[in-house]
Amino acid sequence: MRSRRLVLRIAAVLLVPVLCGAGILMYLHERTTQNVGTAVGDASSPDRIELYVTAQQVNAAQQRLQLRVEIIPHGKLAANGLDVPAKYLSLYTSSPTRAQIDFPAGRPAPAQDLDLSMYGGTVSDYPFDGYDAQVSFAASMDGQAVPLSMTFGDIDPFFHIATVDGGYQKDAVDLTVHVSRAQGSKFLAGFMMVVMWALALSVLGGAWILVSKRRGLVWPALGWMAATLFALAGLRNTAPGAPPIGCVLDYAAFFCAELLTAVGVVAVSVAGVITERKS
């Protein structure tokens, strides 16, 4: 018996560093997959337009991917060796709202923000929703096509953007990306579903004891159960990414947990009133 208790105590002590180590490993894995640049195009060409494209923010509800595009001319396409277009530059994009962006000759080219449409997914699948997007650019200078190269990266901490496919021609670059929830968001949402079920089953178990034992109106227990009913709603509203009502999170855990908790509170109240009136 003593040896068994000793083993349990050692296991309990070791559980803390094991969990902490697992959490750190998950963080390191998440860190290595975030903000990883993808290069596409002919970067060896001395005369080209270089694009630095960064995914700033993902709006899953509107299925919109916000990009910031920085333009750097090289070689003969730059004015006097500066990072400004030597001639009138037109950049053609796959954005439905800004299909063409123009830059005057000899002037600095400021970073441009534009939106891309995402497809192939729905936010109702939260936290397992995923989307695709097409990142395409072409350029011309004074009406003549010019070579392009592009470096793509993302900085939105709530989403992971992975490159699916990429290609380029002399005057165009194309990249297909897949947008999904970050590993941390998925883990937290899954943990919240487990907690919701655990709390609901705890309330239901307590209600079964009170009703079967005919304990009457036990006010501390009723207070705990009622507080759990509202705590579940508060917990649900803290889900990362503000998921809409009716997503997978709700149907897999929240709605059921609220129903079971409410049933437990009502059952204890009704049985308690009946017991108190008889005593």
Q: What is the DSSP letter of 79?
A: G
Say what the pLDDT of residue 171 is: 81
269 Cβ neighbours under 8 A, 6+ residues apart: 217, 222
How much is the pTM?
0.81
Q: What does the block give as tokens for 79?
A: 């004015």
For 216-262, the DSSP string reads ---HHHHHHHHHHHHHHHHHHHTSTT-PPTTSHHIIIIIHHHHHHHH
**Number of other residues whose CB lies within 10 A of the CB of residue 235:** 17
d(CA 173, CA 41): 6
- Measured CA to CA, the distance from residue 20 to residue 126 in angstroms comes to 27
For residues 167 and 132, give the distance between their C-alpha atoms in angstroms, rounded to a whole number. 16
Residue 252 confidence (pLDDT) = 94
Q: Please name every residue paired with 54 in a beta bridge, in sequence order, or none if there are none.
A: 68, 153
144 SS3 class: strand
Return the pLDDT at 59: 93
Alpha-carbon gap, residue 162 to 153, rounded angstroms: 9
How far apart CA 153 and CA 180 sit, in angstroms, is 14
User: CB neighbours of 226 closer than 8 A, spacing ≥ 6?
Assistant: 265
How many C-beta atoms lie closer than 10 Å to residue 89's C-beta?
A: 23
> 75 in the Ramachandran plot: left (φ > 0), alpha (ψ -120 to 50) or beta?
left
| Alpha-carbon distances, residue 11 vs 7, 14, 106, 245 (angstroms) | 6, 5, 69, 41
The stretches in the chain having pLDDT less than 70 are 1-2, 6-9, 12-13, 15-16, 18-36, 81, 279
What's the pLDDT at 45? 82
